[in-house]
Structure 1
Amino acid sequence: MTDAITRLSSLERLWLCEAVRLREEQAGPLDDGEANRRASAAGGELAQRIERRALLLAERDGLLDGLRHWQQGARLAALVLLVLAVGGGAGLAFAALGDGLRPVNVFWALGSLLGLHLLSLAGWLLGLRFAGGGALGRLWLWLSGKLARDARIAQLAPALLLVLERRRLGRWALGLLVHGLWLLALLAAAVLLLALLATRRYDFVWETSILASDTFISLTQALGALPALLGFALPDPEMIRASGDSALASEAARRAWSGWLLGVLVVYGLLPRLVLCLLCVWRWHHGRARLRLDLELPAYRLLRERLQPSSERLGVLDQAPARLSEPLGGVPSAAGSGALLVAVELDPSRPWPPVLPAGVANAGILDSREQRQRLLDQLSRFPAERLLIACDPRRSPDRGTLALLGELAHSAASTRIWLLPPPPSEVLDSARLGDWHAALAGLGLSWSDRAPLNWLESGHD
């Protein structure tokens, strides 16, 4: 595989597998002959073969580049939301304190700072069993697709959500985004609130028409109890009662109300979002390590027999017919011209083709039915004088391969089979090699375990 594929994380690999599956469900099966062959030749468990096949198809069809474009769009979308979060937090602080020309109603200020945050938090908690991303999460996904501007990414966002929902990670991933943005917004609000309180003089007051003053005193002290444990100021009951009549001009009152307002923002705004961010990070890492392909999906069950057959016999596969097509005779020598080398189902790790003499053409490697039919059609119009077919004797000489050899031999004046040597670290199975010899003898084809390149070039050894 290329470096671009090997650098992918485990999540990105699963993501592309799911995107390829969705594409095949919507547009029909892809042309995957070469990808299946390479995935099977690489070995491993079924999940590894399915993953390798999907990555090869994703790279071939441009889905891998689409993934990079989507990620770039996602980063740009996150940056846009971060800027909006900082601007929104600053707006909350200005809305809470006003211009300083009139007294600040402490509960209106508190509502401006925490009202939308608490509504968003309640909505996220109520919807935790469903998605957990909320409007901000959906906005980020939509904006990511728009900024990517790539037609190949249609399946990427749905595929990502499907992968994450296998371990219910979608709510934690989007939840991390939502709580992170709110944390940044509230942090910006707290910083600007502190800056405004440090550089301007604000008077604080509370007002009511139907509630008793004792209600505001109890509520103020209840809200300020937890911040007071962290060292934030808490107005005493007399100061709270006096602030209901008019704004106190004393410095102590301003400092007490300012500390109370900051403390409530930190304890009921910043800290809950920080805790939820850490929770989402922990759940994300815990669930991500357990992500796996769902091999019970119908699309993956169909790939099982193609990538990892339930059984594989040694020797000749399938019961051969009583008589295979005889290649003896071929085409007349005068009808054929030129020399041709072709290989059948070679391992992709094997270097190919070898250095060929001048005048010898290379027909490549036949892996798919389409490639075989194309070569047979070509040879039917322009037969070869000499045809050398390279086969890997580590594979079983199944009926389909032998039938192909017979058809190819019919298209040349003279045909030979080259049984390739194994890699240096391997040894050929003697029983399987004997099956090859017997099968080729039954077809009447001569074979060699060395490259007959002299014969291919000149017609004699």
Structure 2
Amino acid sequence: MSDANPHTSPLSRLDQLWLTEAIRLREEHAGPLDDAEANRRANAAGGDLAQRIQARALWLAERDGQTQALQHWRQGAQLAGLLLMVLALVSGVGLALAALGDGQRPVNLFWALGSLLGLHLLTLLGWLLSFGLGSNASVLGRFWLWASGKLARDAQAAHLAPALLLLLQRQGLTRWGLGALVHGAWLLSLGSALLVLLLLLATRRYGFVWETTILGGDTFVFLAQALGALPSLFGFNLPDAETIRASSNVLDQEAARQAWSGWLLGVTFTYGLLPRLLLGLFCLWRWLRGRARLDLDLGLPGYGLLRERLQPASERLGVSDAAPAELPEPQAGSLDGASQGALLVAIELDDRRPWPPALPKGVGDAGVLDSREQRQRLLDQLSRFPPERLAVACDPRRSPDRGTLALIGELARSASATRVWLLPAPSGEALDSQRLEDWHQALQRLDLPLAQGAPLTWLETGHD
């Protein structure tokens, strides 16, 4: 396991803040995590309180699987986004086909316009009204968030979506991020609708008609020209008043068909595609601008509790946190950074056993670890001055309990190379074969090698 340091992590700054918030929510709902090593590494990395909180959270996220769950969530989000794009493209094609029909009947102009722009205008109005109602997510945005979580298929991703929303809401970014997504989906839908409209109008012969019972012809002329005034500025055709009045019946004139085709395309472009394009770009600009200002809210109670553990001036050793519901499986590893020297340390040895043995020159003695304070003191020292080679001596007459294995794993992660020395039984005593086998299996799970005999030669020279 590598160090989760915000200065060296390949995660983006948004990902780091996101995981930090997810860890806070997890501890808020499930209780404090086993974070002694994470706190130690965060303090060793230095920086201000926010940097230490991030370093601690990223190490815990790496250990407990949240980092991998974040990658799974991102993959699910990408898949959900692709599904949304396909849905938008297909719906755009359906809108165009519904608007023009099969060409066997004349196209009712306002029915066609309602088919193309009706739902778009309603959703756009709802998005604009959300500014006054305090809502941040549209139906499409909620669908994308829901689908992202479902497609992630990772139990560790449960807190990721709520953490992201809470993080973004502090800068008001939820509206702009989801807005860019939703306007982008509508842009695809209306863009595909326009392309299909253009293709159909170019390859089929359509007649256009308007029909009304209670409105007069002058009203329809006014509506058609009012809607077509702005598109005409972009070069789209605008039927004249005479053509509009005559279109109460189907006109078999090429000029009328071309005028109404241009009018329909222009109105769809100007009041459909263009607003979504401009709003999508605006939301994207607000999103990028606000994302650069994202930071942790250190005033939250969850972060305030960490100040006592992560600020050196108030650091306290020997205080036991509440036990978590599930303890993580101990893991070992090796240090990737700079290290030097060799060190021998023992864990909970019998007082009657003579210790330490005669050590070669250049090999340090870290003593026997019997108490929590001794363990923390040594781990703090190793975080600042990691050894190149570390031998951990254990008494195989004791059972390899979880606490001992977790300590061995922490020690191993503080050195470039580690070996475990299972000491021989004192003269006149025999080792329990079953207990010795338990040690071998436990060390195999930790992926740590056993020292062959006394590891003093290896500590001194680096080879046997």
* TM-score of the aligned structures, taking structure 1 as reference length: 0.72
Instruction: State how far apart, in whole Å, the 2-side matches of 1:152 and 1:66 are.
Output: 6
Partner of 1:164: 168
8 Å contact from structure 1 (residues 63, 152) kept in 2: yes
Partner of 1:181: 185
Which letter does structure 1 place at the counterpart of 2:242? Answer: E
8 Å contact from structure 1 (residues 46, 304) kept in 2: yes
* TM-score of the aligned structures, taking structure 2 as reference length: 0.72
Partner of 1:209: 213
**Higher CA-based Rg:** 1
8 Å contact from structure 2 (residues 238, 263) kept in 1: yes
Instruction: State how far apart, in whole Å, the 2-side matches of 1:164 and 1:374 are.
Output: 38
* TM-aligned CA deviation for residue 383 of structure 1: 12
RMSD, aligned CA: 3.1
Runs of 4+ in 1 over 3 A off after TM superposition: 2-5, 309-313, 331-344, 353-356, 370-375, 382-385
Instruction: State how far apart, in whole Å, the 2-side matches of 1:260 and 1:373 are.
Output: 74
Instruction: State how far apart, in whole Å, the 1-side matches of 2:379 and 2:261 are.
Output: 82
8 Å contact from structure 2 (residues 17, 295) kept in 1: yes
Instruction: State how far apart, in whole Å, the 2-side matches of 1:338 and 1:276 are.
Output: 73
8 Å contact from structure 1 (residues 353, 362) kept in 2: no
* 2:106 is the counterpart of 1:106: no
Match for residue 345 of structure 1 among 371, 380, 388: 380
Instruction: State how far apart, in whole Å, the 2-side matches of 1:274 and 1:240 are.
Output: 30
Which letter does structure 2 place at the counterpart of 1:117? Answer: H
Q: How does 1:373-388 map to 2 (within 5 A)?
A: none
Partner SS state of residue 186, structure 1 = helix
Structure 1 residues 188-217: Cα deviation after superposition (integer angstroms, max 9, x where no partner):
000000000000000000000111111110
Cα distance change of structure 1 residues 334 and 55 upon mapping to structure 2, 3 Å threshold: closer
Q: How many residues align?
A: 358
The gaps in structure 1 that reach 5 residues or longer are 314-330, 364-369, 376-381, 386-452
After TM superposition, the structure 1 stretch with the greater mean CA deviation from structure 2, 346-355 or 149-158, is 346-355
* TM-aligned CA deviation for residue 338 of structure 1: 6.8
* 2:243 is the counterpart of 1:239: yes
* TM-aligned CA deviation for residue 373 of structure 1: 12
* TM-aligned CA deviation for residue 141 of structure 1: 0.6
Instruction: State how far apart, in whole Å, the 1-side matches of 2:266 and 2:232 are.
Output: 8
Partner SS state of residue 361, structure 1 = strand
Instruction: State how far apart, in whole Å, the 1-side matches of 2:205 and 2:406 are.
Output: 87
Structure 1 residues 270-300: Cα deviation after superposition (integer angstroms, max 9, x where no partner):
1100010011011001110100100000011
Cα distance change of structure 1 residues 132 and 333 upon mapping to structure 2, 3 Å threshold: closer
Partner of 1:41: 44
Q: Percent sequence identity over matched residues?
A: 62
* TM-aligned CA deviation for residue 218 of structure 1: 0.1
Partner of 2:63: 60
Instruction: State how far apart, in whole Å, the 2-side matches of 1:122 and 1:214 are.
Output: 28
Instruction: State how far apart, in whole Å, the 1-side matches of 2:96 and 2:135 are.
Output: 30
Q: How does 1:265-414 map to 2 (within 5 A)?
A: 265-310=268-313, 336=354, 339=357, 341-342=366-367, 343-352=378-387, 354=389, 361=393
Partner of 1:392: none
Instruction: State how far apart, in whole Å, the 2-side matches of 1:353 and 1:362 are.
Output: 20
* TM-aligned CA deviation for residue 6 of structure 1: 1.2
Instruction: State how far apart, in whole Å, the 2-side matches of 1:144 and 1:344 are.
Output: 40
Cα distance change of structure 1 residues 102 and 29 upon mapping to structure 2, 3 Å threshold: same
Q: How does 1:253-272 map to 2 (within 5 A)?
A: 253-272=256-275
Match for residue 99 of structure 2 among 77, 96, 99: 96
